[in-house]
Amino acid sequence: MSVRTLLRMSLAAVLVTTGAAHAQTANATAAEATAMVKKGISFIKSSGKEKGYAEISTKGGQFNDRDLYLVVYGLDGVVRAHGANEKMVGKNLIDLKDVDGKAFVKERVDLAQSKGTFWQDYKFTNPVSKKIEPKRMYCEKLDDAVVCGGIYK
């Protein structure tokens, strides 16, 4: 094998590896967030709330993918499940505001009651970058709760 051929093969291997690593760290898409919320709702309906909320709150579980995770809020503002921070479960965050002063949990609960299915914009800490970034959350009402999954812009 010539040096030139070996060099080309090595370069190709580096490019493939770099591309795969980049694909694993790329931000989730709106379509992926929508699909995950629908999958989460289906799981809750088939497994029950207790098992569904526990699975959603499991880091590294099926409802966690890169910067995409699910959260479930009761319509009273109490966190029922949280895929990025299980310490939030059981806390009433109805008055929580983002860095711009937007009461996004109250808005989310209000939108769930009035629209049922919606997209919501606010700012939140990205679990991958650890920076506050613009976030877009897809949400669907399920009984007395709202199930959401978001993307960072």
The number of distinct structural domains making up the chain is: 1
Q: How far apart are CA 47 and CA 39, in angstroms?
A: 12
Q: What's residue 148's pLDDT?
A: 98
Confidence band for 126, pLDDT divided at 50, 70 and 90: confident
In a domain, 14, yes or no: no
Q: What percent of the chain has pLDDT over 90?
A: 75
In a domain, 67, yes or no: yes
Q: What's residue 60's pLDDT?
A: 86
In a domain, 133, yes or no: yes
| CB within 8 Å of 92: residues ≥ 6 apart | 76, 77, 78, 79
**Does the pLDDT at position 9 exceed 70?**
no
In a domain, 145, yes or no: yes
Q: What's residue 15's pLDDT?
A: 36
Query: Could you tell me the residue range of the domain that residue 46 belongs to?
Result: 29-152
* Side-chain-side CA neighbours of residue 88 (13 Å): 22
Q: Tell me the pLDDT tens digit for each residue of 30-44.
A: 999 999 999 999 999
Q: How far apart are CA 94 and CA 97, in angstroms?
A: 9
In a domain, 9, yes or no: no
Q: What's residue 10's pLDDT?
A: 40
In a domain, 15, yes or no: no
In a domain, 129, yes or no: yes
In a domain, 2, yes or no: no
Give me the phi and psi of 114, to 5 degrees please.
-90, -35
Residue 44: closest CA among 57, 53, 35: 53
State the CATH number of the domain containing residue 131: 3.30.450.20
**Does the pLDDT at position 6 exceed 50?**
no
Between residues 143 and 1, which one has the greater pLDDT? 143
Mean pLDDT rounded to a whole number for the chain = 87
Q: Tell me the pLDDT tens digit for each residue of 69-108.
A: 999 999 999 999 999 999 999 999 999 999 999 999 999 9
